[in-house]
Chain A
């Protein structure tokens, strides 16, 4: 079985700070990590490899330093890694990103046919969840989003059955290979890297492809040119004009503070009291 897992390198948003004056993101010193959602996709792919044998290729589009993210994936057990990197990719929105990744996957498929493609549910920076569906449409493969469980893969019969999270329930879907799965978070737990894989991660060559290597001919479809969306403004959230009306427990008794709060809430929101009474009486 040959599986391609798409991973993105993202800034660790837990550590991102916004400059209080300029309202720009302060990236200096913020470590770059593998998009956490993509690890659920990678682990699921590795489990299928454990079961069926074959290979897991990790694919990333990004700047040269994104190689670190790919090596991290090798340390978890991915077979090999490809970094698609080219200045002409800069400024890509999701449409241009899916175009470039789909081209690279087609190219990978020429070396060895691809049975399954995985992506994460979404990233933690762009956060759109649009790249997975985009790749699937461009490759014309079956799209399975928000997959919570892979029920069964029949490699010889070329069929796959999955559970998909939907609003208010779970869909049981069956389709044919190849398909693209966007994996839901929390569905598995990433294995520990073995010593052997960690050593391999240091040595294993990460293949670098520029746009020509990735088989991209139409440059009007990539980077800023290939992106229909235009970012017109970036700004920080506006602080609320008035601060909270404060009460300090030490200044008066807890009872007084609570009674005072109740009265304030119910006098400023009179319907709330009626509705609460109604709900409790029902």
Chain B
């Protein structure tokens, strides 16, 4: 069994975060990971580093400053024209070379379409272990104990990479809390050349077509989400969810049963096979609270559930429960919030 760390791998030190950025912004998941990396590094007594790769159009220096503010001590920068826009080949080479040269013990990436593409490639190239979609990261002894849900969230397991380095893990956006920003923090920069030219790279990025509606992208970062479930019975009744959301300036979420019925877009699905969210307020109407839904929203600060069945599983993890008919409760709740907020909003405006 692979449980003993060979002598030559004991030199691997420090916690790294791959910093993902796109069209002028760092993906928040990278800062969420930076917060976790800081905690792990403090436990281990080592430093935190961010990895930034990009082309001439990317302001890597600005991102590095942000990285320090969120907890990094150092940033490794790889700048090269071939790194403009994500492609697997050059990013895999850049990250693999950095790891082999500077030898971190832990490497964290966001479980996004970019992070998963890159993490799987880098782990295979390095021949090390990679734990996917972790919901908790801890240090056990000197090793990373990464906990993740499996079988749609019905079970959790803790996975460790004991005999290989680095120990790699991905985490989905919004699973970890955003750390506090401290702009007085600073750090240093280490630059490395990629050593690749465009003609070395087979895959060409011909175009990038941004999504027309940015709405759905906001679901993961919304402060308030109103979610409707199959208990609403019809697409017509689902509009009650939209009305409450509008009054609260909230986003609309849905269960898989609802997106499969076609009452709303699939992008609004919350859960294991949809988005992970952690709003301040999550109102669920006609939602049973199946484990696959729960794992996507249980970190919400305040969960309200409206359900006719007093024994619905959602009441086991909601903070406030209303046993009642959603078709009756939602319009009244909407009116109650409207009345209350109308006074305040007018004064503020």
Contacts and interface: CB of A to CB of B under 8 A. Distances in A.
Contacts of B145: 232
Contacts of A210: none
Contacts of A224: 1
Interface string B308-319: 001000011111
Nearest to A238: B156
Interface string B222-238: 01100000000000000
A276 interface: yes
Interface stretch (B64-72, B75-83, B99-107, B320-328): B320-328
Contacts of B129: 93, 95, 227-230
Given A93-B129, A262-B337, A254 B332 contact: yes
B110 to A, nearest CB: 9
B132 A237 contact: no
B328 A167 contact: no
Contacts of A269: 280-281, 301-302
Contacts of A126: 150
Interface string A170-192: 11111110000000001000000
A146 to B, nearest CB: 5
Given A166-B113, A171-B208, A237-B153, A280 B341 contact: yes
B41 interface: no
B317 A228 contact: no
Interface string A235-259: 1110110011111111000110111
A6 interface: no
A216 interface: no
A168 B203 contact: no
A167 B208 contact: no
Contacts of A233: 157-158
Nearest to A11: B151
Contacts of A249: 322-325, 328-329
Contacts of A264: 320
B155 A18 contact: yes
Interface stretch (A62-70, A79-87, A134-142, A197-205): A134-142
A246 B22 CA distance: 44
Given A254-B329, A277-B344, A168 B120 contact: no
B217 interface: yes
- Which DSSP category, helix, strand, loop or mixed, fits chain B's interface? mixed
A94 B332 contact: no
A23 to B, nearest CB: 7
B93 to A, nearest CB: 11
B319 A234 contact: no
Contact of A237 (B85, B224, B291, B337): B291
Interface residues of B, number: 100
Contacts of B316: 239-240, 243-244
Nearest to A146: B113
A175 B158 contact: no
B159 A229 contact: yes
Contacts of A276: 223-224, 248-249, 341
A95 B332 contact: no
A176 B116 CA distance: 22
B120 A129 contact: yes
Contacts of A230: 1-3, 129, 159-162
B209 interface: yes
Contacts of B128: 95, 228
Contacts of B294: 237
Given A129-B132, A246-B315, A143 B121 contact: yes
A159 B330 CA distance: 54
The 9 closest A-B pairs by CB, nearest first: A133-B120, A249-B324, A228-B129, A244-B321, A128-B132, A229-B129, A172-B207, A175-B203, A244-B318
Interface of B: 1-3, 20, 22-23, 27, 85-89, 92, 112-114, 116-117, 119-121, 123-125, 127-133, 140, 145, 149-164, 202-211, 214, 217, 223-224, 248-249, 266, 280-281, 291, 294, 301-305, 310, 315-325, 328-329, 332-333, 335-337, 340-341, 344-345, 348-349
